[in-house]
Amino acid sequence: MQQLTPSARWSEDKVLLVFDLETTGVDVEEDVPVSYSLVQYAFGQTVFEFHQIVDPGRPIPPEAAAIHHISDEIAQSFGIPLASALTQLLDALMNASKQGWIVLGMNVNYDLTIVDRACKKYLGNGLLDLGYSAATLDILVLDRHLDRFRKGKRRLADLACVYGVPTDDSLHNSLVDAKVTLGVLLAILDRYPEFLEVTTSDIDSTMFSYHDEWIQSYNRWRLSRGEDPLSLRVWPIDPKT
């Protein structure tokens, strides 16, 4: 009988919702999605993939379009209205929370905070208002903790290279990024099987601990250079300041 890999053992009784956004910019209080993708990974296999372009109802800054290649023309021709997209996202993420699924992303704190703020602004209620409580995993947070002394950048393309996950030139397409994010998670679990000991109910507290550990270390470095420290974050969604 073939022995299961650590990632296969970990995922055989779990459902994950992988989530990724492309946006108009990086301001969590003001920017909104121009595309989003969801990948459902259940009991060791991908069972659902979904990609949606969004018309944000505002001009997309050229610097953002240069990264994700969604222009105003593409968004207006193929995108659904922002309110419709936010409703779909809110429904999917709250369903994951209610079903006890794990939500996975790359720098997912940023994506979830964008969704929370935009839903609050355009729909009246955000994720925090509705009690979002899904166990939320982040491959960036995991990698920073488990391989903390590795030099170099830690963008998604960098993590894919480190963990041997195939990519192509279409990174920054939200569906491609979501699928690569899932591949990186499984590779991390195979390389660091000690994470398998973390139960689903302990994922959020573990992610918060890992993230807090990193930001405290990073802030010591910033202070040593005379730079202002970054603000501490609440996991997995930053409360509105």
pLDDT tens digits, residue range 86-99?
999 999 999 999 99
**Domain made up of 6-164+171-224: CATH architecture:** 2-Layer Sandwich (3.30)
Q: Are 233 and 218 in contact (CB under 8 A)?
A: no
Query: Which H/E stretch holds residue 85?
Result: helix 82-99
pLDDT tens digits, residue range 9-21?
999 999 999 999 9
Ramachandran quadrant class, 166 (left: phi over 0; alpha: psi -120 to 50; beta: rest): beta
- pTM confidence score: 0.94
Q: Are 96 and 50 in contact (CB under 8 A)?
A: no
Mean pLDDT rounded to a whole number for the chain: 94
Q: What is the average per-residue pLDDT within 4-30?
A: 96
Give the domain ranges of the chain: 6-164+171-224
- Distant-in-sequence, close-in-space partners of 226: CB < 8 Å, separation ≥ 6: none
Give the span between the Cα atoms of 187 and 194, in whole angstroms: 13
With residues binned 3-state (H G I as helix, E B as strand, rest as coil), the percentages for the chain, rounded to 5, are 50, 15, 35
